[in-house]
Structure 1
């Protein structure tokens, strides 16, 4: 049967680790995943309609949910592609595991940056003829969420092979995984972010507009999540200085969450379309350097509980302060950001450290008057 005639019905084996425990490794060798795939096939046969015309493809790797939920679903696309290369006479189960610690394709390799989650997911898909694919997909949505507990042999094999302790092991469709992730983000006060993430996953050519929990306009369009710059938003506010400082710190806290989540899902984030060369740094440029003033210097702005949230690049002769740019720090190492800004603006990488966030009369990040003599 031609691969183009098949419908892929993707799912996961969801594994909840016991508190404080993790598997000894996240990859299964080829012989190990072949055994596990047989157990999975037996479990699914007891949960779903007749599967004799389907082919089960399983990847021997444990993922964080975010890596499985990336635009175009690369892990599943790779699993389908690898399965399609094998002749149908290979049987109704195909499994892809590691050899010498390497999976057969990069998209099937868990991202080490996402390690440590208490919930891990082993991806699989059922490839079915179009004549039964829709019915099978609908059955997965109904049956797995309701009674998809993995069999004892399956759970025991995983615990013994990967030296892990499991609280639960159950089957979910990929749609179920998305719904579960949505609920988790809602509980973390990130529901608006999920709205744009869902658009990136399910309708990448679409446009989705929303507002963050703290009031920042957000949009998914052209393959990226675009967020209004908090520095621009701040300059448009008519509030007192303390309220503006508090608001900016809240926005940076929110954007740090957004940057981490979107990076995990491999969705670019842009602030007013002006992302700097690092995804964890946003640069707001105000003016070119003034040759009549001393060389630029860096000034760090610190917020309680968040550390340094911004860096101002400015020139001063003691009487006049000329701000070249402000950078919001949304993640990464402070020293790396300082080095990059110093190189870009030909400034000393050793910053003047401000103990709090300072805004001038125009609600722009700027060193306070006392710093102008330093």
Structure 2
């Protein structure tokens, strides 16, 4: 049967680890995943109608949900492609495991940066003929969420093989995983971000707009989440509010740090309006060109309670004036690396002035404190 005649019905085996019970490794060797796939096939045959007429493809690796929920679902696309290369004569079960810890393709390799979640997910898919694919997919949505507990042999095999203690092991459709992730993000006050992520996952060519929980305009378009510049927002609304501007800016940075980390895990780019850098963890806005008549630029770090350094200013000063060249919001990454990059970019003299709070001028523009004049 041609691969184009098959409908892919993706799912996961969701594993809830016992507290402090991380697996000894996150990939299964080829012989191990072959055995696991056999147990999974038995489980699914008891849960779903006509499943034996479909081909079960299993990836022997444990992922964080974010790596499986990325635009175009690369892990599943790779699993489908690898399975399609094998002739149907190979049978109704195909499994892809590691050789000496290395999976056969990069999208099937769990990323170490996402390790540590108590919930791990092993991806699988049913490649079904078009005659039963739609009904099988609908059955997955109904049956798995209600009674998809993994069989004893499946759970025991995983625990013994990976030296893992499990609280639960159950089958979910990929739509179930999306719904579960939605609920988790809503509980973390990230519902607006999920609106953008859902567009990136399910309709990547669409355009969506909303406001963040703290009121920043968000727009998803062309595969990128665009965020209104917090610094521009402060300036634009300076005459309308009497809020503590430094506190407002710190709140936005806190929110955007969460956004940046989540979006990076889901491989969705984030860009702040007016920023002149592609580094999502350091959003730089230029203010002026260097003045050769002034001394070399100096870096100033602005700190906020509980958040550390949230912004960096680059400025030239002499005895009478200050010229701000750029302001940058620190949304993640290593502060030392950001300081080095800004210093190299603007020719700073290497000096870093640490400010104990966020300094804004009367127009709510981020700036170092004014030069102290001698009398």
Q: Same fold (TM over 0.5)?
A: yes
TM range (shorter): over 0.9
Listed one character per residue, the Cα deviations across residues 46-91 of structure 1 (whole Å, up to 9, x for unaligned) are 0000222200000000000000000000000000000000000000
Distance in 1 of aligned mates of 2:76 and 2:6: 14
> Which residue of the partner structure matches residue 171 of structure 1?
171
Distance in 2 of aligned mates of 1:299 and 1:66: 35
For the 8 Å contact 1:12–1:171, the answer to whether it is kept is yes
Give the 3 Å change call, closer, same or farther, for CA 96–372 of structure 1 in structure 2. farther
Shift of 1:279: 2.0
For the 8 Å contact 2:322–2:371, the answer to whether it is kept is no
For the 8 Å contact 2:229–2:273, the answer to whether it is kept is yes
For the 8 Å contact 1:30–1:95, the answer to whether it is kept is yes
> Which residue of the partner structure matches residue 50 of structure 1?
50
Shift of 1:372: 7.8
Shift of 1:236: 1.2
Listed one character per residue, the Cα deviations across residues 27-53 of structure 1 (whole Å, up to 9, x for unaligned) are 000000000000000000000002222
For the 8 Å contact 1:321–1:372, the answer to whether it is kept is no
Distance in 1 of aligned mates of 2:194 and 2:355: 35
> Which residue of the partner structure matches residue 365 of structure 1?
366
Distance in 2 of aligned mates of 1:192 and 1:297: 37
Shift of 1:278: 2.0
Shift of 1:277: 3.7
Distance in 2 of aligned mates of 1:206 and 1:121: 28
Distance in 1 of aligned mates of 2:243 and 2:214: 17
Distance in 1 of aligned mates of 2:327 and 2:288: 11
Distance in 2 of aligned mates of 1:92 and 1:187: 40
Shift of 1:349: 3.1
Question: Counterparts of 1:58-69 in structure 2 under 5 Å?
Answer: 58-69=58-69
> Which residue of the partner structure matches residue 249 of structure 1?
250
> Which residue of the partner structure matches residue 232 of structure 2?
232
SS at match of 1:170: strand
Aligned residues: 373
> Which residue of the partner structure matches residue 13 of structure 1?
13
Structure 2 runs not aligned, ≥5 long: none
Distance in 1 of aligned mates of 2:167 and 2:193: 29
SS at match of 1:288: coil
Shift of 1:12: 0.1
Distance in 1 of aligned mates of 2:315 and 2:193: 34
For the 8 Å contact 2:27–2:101, the answer to whether it is kept is yes
Distance in 1 of aligned mates of 2:211 and 2:184: 19
For the 8 Å contact 2:150–2:170, the answer to whether it is kept is yes
Shift of 1:20: 1.6
Distance in 1 of aligned mates of 2:39 and 2:111: 26
Give the 3 Å change call, closer, same or farther, for CA 28–86 of structure 1 in structure 2. same
> Which residue of the partner structure matches residue 299 of structure 1?
300
For the 8 Å contact 2:61–2:108, the answer to whether it is kept is yes
Give the 3 Å change call, closer, same or farther, for CA 138–240 of structure 1 in structure 2. closer
Shift of 1:348: 2.6
| TM-score, normalisation: structure 1 | 0.98
> Which residue of the partner structure matches residue 73 of structure 2?
73
> Which residue of the partner structure matches residue 188 of structure 2?
188
Give the 3 Å change call, closer, same or farther, for CA 319–98 of structure 1 in structure 2. same
For the 8 Å contact 1:300–1:311, the answer to whether it is kept is yes
Distance in 2 of aligned mates of 1:36 and 1:162: 12
For the 8 Å contact 1:228–1:271, the answer to whether it is kept is yes
Listed one character per residue, the Cα deviations across residues 268-306 of structure 1 (whole Å, up to 9, x for unaligned) are 001016352422100011111111211110000000000
| TM-score, normalisation: structure 2 | 0.97
For the 8 Å contact 1:317–1:372, the answer to whether it is kept is no
> Which residue of the partner structure matches residue 32 of structure 2?
32
Distance in 1 of aligned mates of 2:135 and 2:241: 60
Distance in 1 of aligned mates of 2:274 and 2:165: 45
Question: Counterparts of 1:334-345 in structure 2 under 5 Å?
Answer: 334-345=335-346
> Which residue of the partner structure matches residue 285 of structure 1?
286
Give the 3 Å change call, closer, same or farther, for CA 372–197 of structure 1 in structure 2. farther
Distance in 1 of aligned mates of 2:274 and 2:263: 16
Distance in 1 of aligned mates of 2:111 and 2:373: 46
Give the 3 Å change call, closer, same or farther, for CA 59–248 of structure 1 in structure 2. same
